[in-house]
Amino acid sequence: MKKWTSEAKQQLQDCFDTTDWSVFEEAASNIHELTDTVTSYISFCEDACVPTKTFRTFPNNKPWFTPKLRHARQAKEDAHRSGDRALYRKARNALTREIRVAKRLYSEKLKSSFSANDSSSVWRGLQEITGYKKRPTPPTEVSKALADELNTFYCRFEKDHLTLATSPVSPPDSSCSSINGTLPPIADTASPSSSTPGSQLEINVGEVCRLFQRLKTRKAPGPDGVSPSCLRVCAEQLAPIFTQLFNKSLELSEVPTCFKRSTIIPVPKKPTITGLNDYRPVALTSVVMKSFERLVLNHLKTLTNSRLDPLQFAYRANRSVDDAVNLGLHYILQHLDRPGTYARMLFVDFSSAFNTIVPHTLCSKLSQLSVPTDLCNWIYSFLTNRSQQVRMGHVTSDTRHTNTGAPQGCVLSPLLFSLYT
């Protein structure tokens, strides 16, 4: 793992402070090449400036077990093998004292998390101590054939919607034409309300900087190699170049190719795996793109919130399953108050819900909701021509390209599915 020392942070910040980003802009022929070059350069600088350290961990280690305790335990074992009883008692007592100290310090750490309202750290510690809700262990023997089979399984909806996803479309207004010559899906026929002042999204440096500064450093980097720690430490240095890339992407209605790459991690749904459907596909995507999606998400919410069904509870702020249950119970009891009445309930579950989104159909619905044409075309670009790999341990599948569905784990996927249905 990487050691983010104060010296490494300062060195990385100085590196980006002295970077002339215009060199990349002049050398790149399109936004895809520019974004790929910028992210590769950032990843290279991080590897060069931030040292790494290797730690050995064991599955039976307790969260309060420290390296000092490991040395004390080793000293006790050495004393036992020597046959010196006095030395053994001394080493045993020293280990006992160290265990008490380590447990006390860890207890104080948990208490401080309570005081700071850091619920995630508290739950993490309690789950490690109690072994509560342990994740099912993936199979020990993983082959490339299994990874390829899973990747094909996750792309199974492609053939059902291939005609729709790749059908010819009407050319949009020339002002939002794609830089690579492909045609976005929606012609510029949206209602006048979609072009009213304030409906167009323009991102500023302050928004991007604040998003980078709030990133969780425990998250893994995406396929582009840019880590959340790097973005958080160098938020002020990197926000300007990424703001420029984001606005260029919106202007061209084109999502950079490197932002559409996904590494799918199959997470077992149950302890015993009996089929491919027992793995939940969680997409590991670019951390930079997630920040970009949050900005688009906030804008899309302001445009569509008034059009959402008032009985929509999923993926909406200040609404929960409890609200849905209570409201449903209220309607049922209100109905049953009348004599001679009864109630029937139908529960429906969407299988692989996000994977069934047809981009062309979604964009047509968004256009009917008066979402600006440029944004509809950007969403179409976001959902099409995505590349994905399945990674299981050290095994990685071949790359496949998809034009149907929204990856699980993307920030925009829940809202897009709500608008789609």
pLDDT classification of 140: cutoffs 50, 70, 90: low
Which pLDDT band, with edges at 50, 70 and 90, does 59 fall under?
A: low
Indicate if the pLDDT at residue 8 is higher than 70. Answer: yes
pLDDT for residue 129: 66
**pLDDT confidence bin for 381, thresholds 50/70/90:** very high
Give residue 267's pLDDT band: very low, low, confident or very high (50, 70, 90).
confident
The pLDDT tens digits for 319-348 are 888 999 999 999 999 999 999 999 998 988
Q: At CA 67, angle to CA 64 and CA 68, rounded to 5?
A: 95
Please give, one letter per residue, the 3-state secondary structure of 334-367: HHHCCCCCCCCCCCCCCCCCHHHCCHHHHHHHHH
Any residues with CB less than 8 A from the CB of 275 and at least 6 apart, and which? none
Most confident of 10-14, 105-109, 125-129: 10-14
Choose among 208, 384, 176, 178: nearest CA to 292: 208
pLDDT at 213: 93
Q: How many H helices and E strands in the chain?
A: 16, 5
Query: Which of 24-28, 78-82, 198-202 is the least confident region?
Result: 198-202
Span 10-58, pLDDT tens digits = 999 999 999 999 999 998 889 999 999 999 999 999 999 988 877 676 6
Of the chain, the percentage scoring pLDDT greater than 90 comes to 38
* pLDDT confidence of residue 116: 72
Is the distance from CB of 42 to CB of 226 less than 8 angstroms? Answer: yes
Q: Which tens digits make up the pLDDT trace of 272-315?
A: 888 888 888 888 899 999 999 999 999 998 888 888 888 888 87
Q: Kindly report whether the global pTM for this prediction surpasses the value 0.85.
A: no
- Looking at residue 32, the DSSP 8-state letter turns out to be H
Burial-class residue 237 by CB neighbours within 10 Å (0-12, 13-18, 19+): buried
Under DSSP, is residue 284 helix (H, G, I), strand (E, B) or coil? strand
Helix, strand and coil in the chain, % to nearest 5: 55, 5, 40
What count of other Cβ atoms lies within 10 Å of the Cβ of residue 89? Answer: 12
**∠ CA 150-156-162 to the nearest 5 degrees?**
145
Percent of the chain with pLDDT over 70: 86
> 414 near 353, Cβ under 8 Å?
no
Cα gap 242→292, rounded to integer Å: 9
Contacting residues for 198 by C-beta, under 8 A, at least 6 apart: none
> What pLDDT does 137 receive?
57
Q: Residue 392 and residue 267: Cα distance in Å, rounded?
A: 9
413-420 vs 287-304: helix axis angle to the nearest 10?
40
Report how far residue 144's alpha carbon sits from residue 152's, in angstroms, rounded to the nearest whole number.
Answer: 12
- pLDDT tens-place string over residues 168-192: 334 334 333 333 334 344 444 443 3
Mean pLDDT across the chain = 83
